[in-house]
Amino acid sequence: MMIPRIIFLLQFSTLIYLFTVYCFSSTDEEATALLKWKATFHNENNSLLASWTLSTDACRDDWYGIICINGRINRLNIANVGVTGTLYDFPFSSLRFLEYVDLSMNQLFGPIPPELGKLTNLVHLNLSNNQISGSIPPHTGSLTKLETLSIFHNHLNGSIPSELGNLENLTDLRLSYNQLSGSIPITIGDLTELKILYLGLNNLSGPIPSEFGKLKHLTDLELSYNQLSGSIPITLGDLTEVKVMYLALNNIYGPIPSGLTKLKILYLYSNQLSGPIPSELGNLKNLTHLDLSANQLSGSIQITLGDLTELKILHLFSNQLSGHIPSELGNMKNLTDLDLSANHLSGSIPITLGGLTELKILSLYSNQLSDPILSELGNLKNLTNLSLSHNQLSGSIPITLGDLTQINRLSLQFNQFSGPTPSELGNLKNLTDLLLSHNQFSGSIPITLGDLTELKLLYLYSNQLSGPIPSELGKCNKLTDLRIAKKQNWR
């Protein structure tokens, strides 16, 4: 069937040639084996694989997703074609010349057979985004030509086989979003060509191997959302190429290694970091994202953090930081998101924060901040959320807050603010939440609040407001929660 009729018109020598290539090559065997696997798919009539038929030639007739070299199947790419099936009948023994396999984004289920180890010519293997279960076969360590191995977002369990340390040419290893357990094998430190290592969103425990310090080419290290414990190995400071380090949501404690000069993103939130924020962090001049929230960091915020002028996101919330907010934070001109809430910070809000004109979120709630807030905060024209609640802030609200025309949420609850509620608040047309309760505001409720047509929550109770409830509030037809007087609710 592989020999077209036209062949009988060809010269004898050509015939011999074609005979050799098409009959004694293993293409036939390869194609037959693939069809045998296809026949086990639960949705056998997959339209994308309709080209895979007995009556066509896998190499010459463009089977979907197949590329051949010298009559042998070299690449198999059937990513995202809607295949439902298992790997039990995958032709591991027949497809000996495969270098590239991408089966990602299908509905493959069941285990990876140990015969995977027979595909010794594989350079790229991608099984990600399926429902593959069971453990990673140790035989994967036989695929020594592998450069990329992706099995993320599956249901793999068991531990990571130490044999993966044999894959000396691996540059990209992605096993995240599975249920892998046990400790990270120290042999992963032998993968000295690795650039990308994603093991996040698993159930890995034990320490981060200090052998990771050998991964000199690493640019992305993602270990978040595991049960990793112990301290961050100081050897990680040798990873001078690392740009992204996600170690969040583990049980890791400090200190944070120095070195890491190219780091852009450092996520260490929800760990057991304690003691002061290391002032050396100020050396990581390329940082754009720093998240140390939900740890037990104490002491004051280092003024050297102000050297991180590329920073866009600074999250230090839910720690035990004390002392003043350093005015040097005002040097971080690119900051869009500053969250220092739920700490023990005291003193006043530095005037320099008024220079952070890119800020969208400024969250300082649940601290011990005092004194009046400055009119300079009105410069933050891009602000969408300003949360200063649960502090000891006092004085009247500057009318410049009426310039924050992008703001969605303004929360000033549980402070000691006094004086009138400025009628300029009526300019904040995007406001959905206006929370002013538990202060000492006095005077009447401004009728301009009726202009806040997006308003959903309006809390004015526990103040010393007087006079009538303006009928203009009737224009706020999206209000779902209006609280004006203590222990009273209107809907």
Ligand X SMILES: *[C@@H]1O[C@H](CO)[C@@H](O)[C@H](O)[C@H]1NC(C)=O
Contacts of 35-44 spanning 24+ positions with Cβ under 8 A: 36/89, 36/91, 37/85, 37/89, 37/90, 37/91, 39/89, 40/85, 40/86, 40/88, 40/89, 41/83, 41/84, 41/85, 42/84, 42/85, 43/82, 43/83, 43/84
Please say which residue, 394 or 430, places its beta carbon nearer to ligand X.
430
When the beta carbons of 357 and 392 are compared against ligand X, the nearer one is 357
CB of 424 to ligand X, least distance (A): 17
Minimum CB separation of residue 380 from ligand X in Å reads 8
Indicate the residue among 56 and 169 with the shorter CB distance to ligand X. 169
What is the nearest approach in angstroms of ligand X to the Cβ of residue 274?
22
List the alpha helices (DSSP H) in 174-241.
none
- Contact at 8 Å (CB) between 368 and 392? yes
**Minimum distance, C-beta of residue 466 to ligand X, in the bound complex (Å):** 28
Q: Rounded to whole angstroms, how far apart are CA atoms 122 and 112? A: 15
For the bound state, the minimum distance from the C-beta of residue 172 to ligand X, rounded and expressed in Å, comes to 5
Of the two residues 122 and 369, which places its CB atom closer to ligand X in the complex?
122
What is the per-residue burial (b if ≥16 Cβ within 10 Å, else e) of 51-83? ebeeeebbbeeebebbebeebbbbbbbbbebeb
Is 285 or 486 the residue whose CB approaches ligand X more closely? Answer: 285
Question: Contact at 8 Å (CB) between 402 and 379?
Answer: no
What number of CA atoms fall less than 13 Å from residue 428's CA on the CB side? Answer: 27
Residue 8 buriedness (CB in 10 A; 0-12 / 13-18 / 19+): exposed
How many angstroms separate the first and last alpha carbons of the chain?
A: 78
Closer of 333 and 486 to ligand X (Cβ): 333
Report the residue number, 100 or 253, with the smaller CB distance to ligand X. 100
Nearer to ligand X among residue 393 and residue 404 (C-beta): 404
Q: Which residues contact 155 (CB under 8 A, 6 or more apart)?
A: 131, 132, 133, 178, 179
Closest CB 150 distance from ligand X, rounded Å: 4
Q: Where are the alpha helices (DSSP H) in 41-99?
A: none
Nearer residue to ligand X within complex by CB, 145 or 483: 145
Task: Name residues whose C-beta falls within 8 Å of residue 344's C-beta, 6 or more positions apart in sequence.
Answer: 320, 321, 322, 367, 368
Round the CA-based radius of gyration of the chain to a whole number and report it.
Answer: 31
CB of 146 to ligand X, least distance (A): 9
**DSSP at 73:** E
**Residues near ligand X (CB under 6 A):** 44-45, 104-105, 126, 128-129, 133-134, 144-145, 148, 150, 157-158, 168-169, 172, 179, 181, 203, 205, 227, 261-262, 285-286, 309-310, 333-334, 357-358, 361, 381-382, 384-385, 406, 408-409, 430, 432-433
Q: By C-alpha distance, which of 229, 238, 245, 172 is closest to 211?
A: 238
* Shortest reach from residue 106's CB to ligand X, in Å: 9
Residue 32 or 408: which CB sits closer to ligand X? 408
CB of 137 to ligand X, least distance (A): 13
- Minimum CB separation of residue 330 from ligand X in Å reads 12
